[in-house]
Amino acid sequence: MAQSKVEAALVVRNTQGDTLVSIPMPEGATWCLEWNHSVTGIRVQDCYRHHAGRMVLERSHQPDFAAGLGHVLGRGRQVSDGDGGYWIEDINEPVPGNRYRLRVGSLAVNHRLLHEGRRISLSEQAADQAVTIQLQTDP
12 neighbors 21 (Cβ within 8 angstroms): yes
35 neighbors 133 (Cβ within 8 angstroms): no
pLDDT of residue 75: 67
Residue 66 scores a pLDDT above 80: no
pLDDT of residue 88: 86
Residue 117 has phi, psi (to 5 degrees) of 80, -5
Summarised one tens digit per residue, pLDDT across range 29-60 is 999 999 998 777 788 899 999 999 999 999 99
For the chain, how long is the longest CA-to-CA vector? 53
Percent of the chain past pLDDT 90, that is, above it, reads: 65
> Is pLDDT larger for residue 22 or for residue 37?
22
pLDDT of residue 89: 86
CA atoms in the 13 A half-sphere facing the CB of 32: 16
Summarised one tens digit per residue, pLDDT across range 67-78 is 444 545 566 777
Q: What is the pTM of this model?
A: 0.85
Domain boundaries, the chain: 8-131
25 neighbors 50 (Cβ within 8 angstroms): yes
**Cα separation of 54 and 110, whole Å?**
26
- Other C-beta atoms closer than 10 Å to the C-beta of 98 total 18
37 neighbors 44 (Cβ within 8 angstroms): yes
